[in-house]
Structure formats: C-alpha cells, structure tokens
Structure 1
C-alpha cells in the first residue's frame, strides 16, 4: 500500500479525500496548518495520520520532518492541495528523495513567472522590491494615471492584495511605498511583490485538467466578490460567455501548458473579462479550486466529491488509473456556491443553523476564531454552502453567526 504525504489539505477536500484514498488503497499522512486547515477535527480526517505544522514556514516544516524521519521513510509521494505550497513540496521531494509533482508546478505558482510566460494574455505585470536600486527607473515606464493591484507573487485567496489608485501630486513609487509600509504582511517592505494593472470587468475562471498534455475544460465558473473577498461562485455558466471568449481562454491555457511543459494536473485559471478580451490574472495550475467548486462539480456532473478530489491529487503523481465520467458542461445543471462572512469581522463563537439547511454546508473556522472584515481577503470566510440557487438563497436568510456582540446575518452578496 503506497503512502502519500500531503502538506496542506484544504477544507473542502478534507471532507472527502482521506476516505476516498483509503478506499483506493492509499495511506495518507497529512501535515495540517492550524492557520488555514480547519478540517482537522472531522471524523473523515481521522482515517489519516495527521500532524500540525506551519506550512507557511518552509524551514520549520523541513525541521519537523528531519526530527520525525519515520514520516518520510514511510512516504512514497509528497504533494499539496495548495499551489502556493508547491515550492515547499519541491524542496521536500528533493531533500528526502520522494516522488511528487514536477518542479514546474512550483514555477507556475509564481504570478510573475506566468505573466512572462503568456504576456499576450496577461495584464501588464512588473516585479518590484523596495530594495532594488533600479526601482524608480522601472516604475517610470508605467502609466501613473492608471490603477494597479499590489500582489505577492506567490499567494492565494488575495492575501496581501492592495489597490494602488493614482494620487494627485504623488509619484507611483511613493504610493507603493506607503501601501507596503501599511501592509499587514510580515516584513512587507523586504519582500518581492508584483504590481499588476487593475483590469475592470467580470471575474470568472476556467476549470479543468491536463492529461498527457491534452487540455480538458470542465466548464466556466462565474465569481462574485466584495472587494478582495470571493463570496459566491456559479458553475457551470458556459452559456453566459461568447464562443470568442471561450476560445481565447482555451488558447491561453493550451499555450501556458505547452510553454511550461505542464503535462498532468488540474487547473483553476482565473480571468477578468473586459469588453471582448479575457485577461489571465491567476493561473492556479496543479490544483482545482479549493472552495465550493469540488461539491459544485460533484452535483453538476452527478459524481462524488471524493472521486473528483482523488483524481485531482493522483493525476500529477502518475497514479490516476481512471478518470471521473464528466458530462459536457452544456448538459449540467447550474449550481451556486456561497462563501459567507461577517461584514465588520469579529470573533466567531458558533452558528445558529436551521434544521432544514442544505447538506453541503462547511464551517470554515473553528469556534472562537477571529476573522477579518469581508472585503479584505478570503480569510474572511466563516463558512460555505452549495446547492441550487433559489433554494440555497432562501435557506441562507435563516442562517445566523454567533459573535461576541450578537447573532449576525451572514454577508455574501
């Protein structure tokens, strides 16, 4: 029986993946990050061996594995459910002589690398570091009358993102410096960042996978955000997009896979639609969407979430013997995924959930967790729910979140 070391298991996959892997004859050892993996208390994850680790600190993870050599000695593979952890996965793979995803997965987690690989499909993107002596010259080539978004090159869930709007009488470098000085990211002024042109338009994503270099698109998700927090996802909504936009996105993903040498794995490519052009803003290569998409895809394609999650994990490892029987997106019913939050943030003490609430509901934080206000990032998520739009929206009206002050209605629109 082969053993897979999983460094970081997202909440949705945590409900299904350990059970499915066990059914398929795999053992799993999971390094859970208490800062982002809140699925560790469920019965399902009890089927796996679990350890707590700060996967945001690669040095501490390597140190942990060196102090527990039995873990890597028993493991055959190492991987992750997060693309921003693929650099760590690559390091563990090499240091401990394990099999795992190709090293290109780590490269593709870098937004600057992707923008340089497919510049014809990307917004103008500039890598910056405040310590760079040539930064003033580099920024002088940018139009300071435009708006930009300041992003970490390797990150997820919009963590650290800031809008950089033009300020009268202030240079772009002054505006960027002020933004970094006020950032909540640790040592923000010493880090690498990218400055990406802010493209107004609709956010959507192409979902699918690559197998043997061939791209299979599973449909389009239409995303809804409040500032930097995603609050809803409709899937599949292919009929809402023109044939031209479909072709642009397919061409972009195909060229990206060819140029990168990406052969096997899922993708969750995020685009902004502006008029008749689609801009790739986040490639998310090597994984499927970590939120509601897993349960939405299962409902839309009449599959189990477990078989989809397992295929996503095993495909890059060369262990996917079969693939789920996906339908054509045009034959799938549309589903709605909701990520609900607290308007002003606060401490979550519990939930008041109606007895008739939907089955596909997931608590995304532990009781007594402090969450930021909606709009800051996806770290504002308190929970998520999946179902048919009309029924789910009706049920959400009766859900309440217990905070220190009062019972609050969830924010998701």
Structure 2
C-alpha cells in the first residue's frame, strides 16, 4: 500500500490521521520528533510508521526520504501545521509527489498575507533580523501613535510560538534581541511582522475551497484566559452581526482570489470588537487545530476521521477519492471544547473521565504545567462531564483547573 507522508501533526489530529489515510486507500507515514508529543498523540504517531526527523528543516526531510527509501512508497505529502506546509510544497515539487496547493507557499507567511489583503488586516510593517532600520521602525510607530502596545510575530508560525507583545517605540536593537532569542521553531524564519495590538475577541471562520469556490462551515470562538487558549466554541455565528460575518467572508474571499488558492481547507482568524473586524491569521491549507475537527464533525453528524480524509483528499487529490463526501445540515446544538490543566507539577498517574460521557476525550499527560487533557462534545454534555473529571496524583485524587465560557473555574 502506498503512503501519505505527514510532516508532524496537531495534537488532536494525530489520533485520526492514520484512519483518515486508510479511508483514502493509503497508509500514514510520519516524520516527527516524538518527544514533542505526549499521551494519546504520541501513542498514535508511534503506532504508525514514523521516523525521527526534524520537520522544520528542508534538508533533513529531503535526506530522510532518500535514507528510508520512501521515494517510490510515498504518493503525497502534507501537514496539519502551518510551519511545515511550505516545506511539503517544496518536497512535493522535487519528487513529483502530490502536495498541498502551491499558493500555500505565500499563504502560510503572515507578512505576505498582510500584503495581499492590507485593507482587512491591522497596520503592519515587515522586519528582518539581518536588516533592521531604526528610522523606518520609529516612523511606523509615529504613524500608529494611537496604540500603546504592539505584537511581534514570526512570518511563519502557529499557536503563538515566537510572538512577543512590545511597547510603543521599542528600538530596532531590542527587537533584534527578541528575534535572536526566539524558540528554535523560529530559526528558519526570515520575515517578521509588527502590528498594533488591536482589541477584540478571537473568532475563526472555518471552511474550504474547491476549484476556487468557497464553502463556509461556520464561525468558532476561542476561549482565552490571560492570552492562553483554554477552549473553543462552535458554531457561534449567531453572536456576530450579518455585517461582520459578511466582512469576514469577504476578507477570506479576496485572499483566496488574490492568492489564486484552488483547493484546501482554511481556518482564518479575526479579532472582532463591535463593528470592527481585523483579519490576523490565514491558516490556509489545513483544518483548524485543537479539537475543532471534533466539534465540526459533531456539528455536521460526521466523524473526525471522515473529515480529515476529506481534508487530505481535497488538499492533495482535489477530492478524487471522496467525491461522495457531503456536509449535511448543521446541528442547532452548541459544541464546546475545554482544556484541563493543573496548578502544580504533579506526578500524574491517571485521568478519569465519567464513564457515561458521550464526549471526545484526549489525554495529553505527562505535561502537568500545560494542558493535561481536552474534553469535547455537545456543550451540555461537556459542562456536566468536566465537573466529574478526576486526576490521580502522588498526593491523591484532585480536580483539574479549567475555564468555562465567561467564567474561570479553579479547584
């Protein structure tokens, strides 16, 4: 059986990728650093054919394909991560594999997206670590004097990796130091973007493109506490005015048209406050991360592996294998995802979810100071189930911390 090669994976997507590939008639092969994953995602990758390869290094990926004799085994290459999609495009071109839409080479870069649809994005300036001009930088600040804080972002990254909030008037030298000390995932980044910190709630517009035609699946809203993502709600279209929804759809439509993006999913992020909506991240070429794939599947009465099969088929094969796949009518029920954490560095023995729960659950421990688990399902079921979750530690059984929509819950 030929294979689809995946460059890393999202935490939740890892659980469903192998089955999704099988639905298309292929086996899954992963290139990944296994120590980057814990719990269920780690086990899912380890259960497949996988190789320890840096997925952020084009030369390393190239060498591994030859070293492990994969040239004649792989039919397509893709990813669920922004930072590796452009590398998948490059490898696909070199070996004549099926690969993601070539337009993604520019669409994964925030600086290029800003240039494509500037009228929808916050004001921005593109910076390079090797060529920072303080006069140009200070003129940008002068033009944006209404703002006190700005955000520095790597052109290519996801999950906020490498982002820094800085004050108005920061010098080029100080910005250079921030770029130079960014996480290793940003080592390959050339262009950075600096934008004002605009106010607003974080929403995303989910959907896909088929032969240049857009299909919108709905809006999701991220739950955040102190700038950290703690959950997600889908769909939340009813919270947004028809004018705001139309504005967001127009932004995505213009981006698709100007970039000539033809086939694939998107998860476009907006900061929305009142009558204003700013496009802040394109996330083209993949379905949303976190548990949104589970939420969309539940909302449309499908399964996550069937959705991911469509994601991979559309992006690689233009739906050649899933022509019969159709999204049905969307459920009226709200879908909720909540991330569970602990306040201290406990030795986690086990996480117990209620046996009667109908929710999706994913265990991520051992990672006690970050997310230890995620619970996803109909909002009514999640709100009941999360109260019964217990964590067995060296100090006994405790309740995890979590955030609910509009409320911080700590135990």
Q: TM-score range by the shorter chain?
A: 0.7 to 0.9
SS in 2 for 1:299: helix
Indicate the RMSD between aligned Cα atoms, in angstroms.
2.8
For 2:32, the equivalent position in structure 1 comes to 32
- 1:206 and 1:29 map into 2 onto residues whose CA distance is 30
Paired residues of 1:5 and 1:79 also in contact (CA < 8 A): yes
2:341 aligned partner: 341
SS at match of 1:11: coil
Offset of residue 4 of structure 1: 1.4
CA distance change for structure 1 residues 186 and 260 in 2, over 3 Å: closer, same or farther?
A: closer
Residue 278 of structure 2 is matched in structure 1 by 279
Residue equivalent to 2:401: 410
| 1:1-21 C-alpha deviation (Å, 9 max, x unpaired) | 542111122232222231232
Moved more, 23-32 or 255-264: 23-32
**Structure 2: how far apart are the matches of 1:108 and 1:218?**
20
In structure 2, C-alpha distance between the alignment counterparts of 1:337 and 1:401, rounded to whole Å: 18
Secondary structure at the counterpart of residue 336 of structure 2 = strand
3-state SS, counterpart of residue 71 of structure 2: helix
> In structure 1, how many angstroms separate the alpha carbons of the residues matched to 2:249 and 2:186?
38
Q: Does 1:152 align with 2:154?
A: yes
Question: In 2 relative to 1, CA 242–187 (structure 1 residues): closer, same or farther, beyond 3 Å?
Answer: closer
Q: Which runs of 5+ in 2 are unaligned?
A: none
CA separation in 1, counterparts of 2:201 and 2:127?
A: 27
- Residues 173, 411 of structure 1: CA spacing in aligned structure 2 closer, same or farther, 3 A cutoff? farther
Looking at structure 1, the residues matched to 46 and 180 of structure 2 have their Cα atoms a distance apart, in angstroms, of 40
Instruction: Report if aligned partners of 1:32, 1:40 keep a CA contact under 8 Å in 2.
Output: no
For 1:82, the equivalent position in structure 2 comes to 81
Shift of residue 179, structure 1, vs aligned partner: 4.6
Post-superposition Cα deviations, 1:161-195, rounded to whole Å, max 9, x if no partner, equal 121134xxx64546635655765557879964221
Task: For residue 397 of structure 1, give the secondary structure of its aligned residue in structure 2.
Answer: helix
Q: Residues 123-177 of structure 1, C-alpha deviation per residue, up to 9 Å, x if partnerless?
A: 11212234315243233222355311111111111112121134xxx64546635
Native 8 Å contact 1:362 1:385 kept in 2 = yes
Decide whether the 8 Å contact of 1:180 with 1:188 is kept in 2.
no
TM-score by length of 2: 0.87
The aligned counterpart of 1:100 is 99
Count matched residues: 396
Residues 37, 44 of structure 1: alpha-carbon distance in 2 compared, 3 angstrom cutoff = closer
The unaligned stretches of length 5 or more in structure 1 are: 372-379
Instruction: Give distance in 2, aligned partners of 1:343 and 1:323.
Output: 47
Which segment is superposed worse, 232-241 or 180-189?
180-189
Following superposition of structure 1 onto structure 2, how do residues 236-275 of structure 1 map, counting pairs within 5 Å? 236-275=235-274
